[in-house]
Structure 1
């Protein structure tokens, strides 16, 4: 049984989601605003969070910023905002998925199950292994075919940020903040340059990356 925190200021929707999620076998906590949600998530971390963006006190992206990086579980945004820029901002802020209201409950439950199968977005093992290379997060070492590969500090910081979140889309701005700092949020060309360098060192076919993948206009994903 998984614990789900639903954050929404619509009492009717909260009630419907509570009934649906409990019927699917989940424990459900609810929060009507962002500050209450942040307090509840810190006091009793859920396995998954369903988050509305239009909250009365904080914007949903502010809630995401408050949750990450200490909360490593999946966050699914459930919002009436259908504009692609809203989706990009939410993913950049740390969301794992985005569902537009009104939504089909069976689809929502399917996405929830998929997110829970992926588990916490933080890598639980200090050694991440693919068919082509191995990353030792504790020793800060990378090997390809058993041979050590030298990475620059920036290349390592970027790889570290990606492999700690296997399977999860990491937004461009989130990566830029993590590796270079808040002042570099718009310098997306940095990511392109350093991803090219990493792929040359780690991918079996850098022109057709298998592990360090680009999601055009959105971000990057490490696929082990």
Structure 2
């Protein structure tokens, strides 16, 4: 049974989400966004976190930053702050998806299922080696030589997808469908942001071995030489 940690201060919303996800077979633990949020995350080890941003004692983005320090657990933001800049900020800081309030609980369930499917996809047993770049999909880590790369979950998913299809060009829309999911609403700027972060993370990788190239008017490609 998949575990979901719900960090939300509004009890009616929390109860509603708990009921829908519980009926779908998920185990849900609720935290009100207090000082126990991160200790609960660390001790309970959820498969996914649903995170409100507007909490009484904390900024949800601060909690997201702390979660990212401990690993790549998928995080879906649920919040009344639903403007495009708010969404882009949350996604840029490592959220896997973003749902604006008010919402239909069926949408929350569908997005949880979609994010968990993508996480399962990149967990397939596999090791990809591209020169000194080694990607262990099972352990969900990447090395350049002996140096580990610190990647946000979305950047990790993007790297795995591109590495499985080297020297192929993908448009932003194709990457959104394959990596973010067809139900993602953040727009193609999210692809550009993730590519920029991933390029920075890959700076130690010799350009003589490979690089992420921009194909003008077409999209992006992981070129391997």
TM-score by length of 1: 0.64
Query: In the alignment, what sits opposite 1:199?
Result: 212
Please name the residue that 1:77 is paired with.
77
Show the counterpart of 2:157: 165
Q: Check 1:96–1:162 CA distance in 2 against 1; reply closer, same or farther (3 A cut).
A: closer
Q: CA deviation at 1:128?
A: 3.2
Q: What's the CA shift string for 1:147-192, capped at 9, x where partnerless?
A: xxxxxx9xx9699997633435678499659948xxxxxxxxx9xx
CA distance in 1, matches of 2:11, 2:152: 41
Structure 1 gaps, min length 5 = 142-152, 181-189, 213-224
**1:51-96: CA deviation from partner (whole Å, max 9, x where unpaired):** 0000111111100001003131210001111111111111111100
Provide the secondary structure at the position in 2 that maps to 1:6: strand
- Contact 1:73–1:121, Cα closer than 8 Å, also in 2: no
Q: Structure 2 length normalisation: TM-score?
A: 0.64
Structure 1 residue runs of 4 or more that deviate by more than 3 Å after TM superposition: 120-126, 156-163, 168-180, 209-212
- Which residue of 1 is the match for residue 57 of structure 2? 57
Name the structure 1 match of 2:103. 103
Map 1:1-224; keep pairs closer than 5 Å.
1-119=1-119, 127-128=127-128, 135-137=133-135, 140=144, 164-166=156-158, 167=179, 172=193, 179=200, 198-200=211-213, 208-211=218-221
How many residue pairs get aligned? The number is 179
- With over 3 angstroms needed to count, the CA separation of the structure-2 counterparts of 1:126 and 1:179, relative to structure 1, is farther
C-alpha RMSD of matched pairs (Å): 4.0
The DSSP-based 3-state class of the residue aligned with 2:36 is: helix
**Which 5+ residue runs of structure 2 have no aligned equivalent?**
136-141, 159-178, 181-189
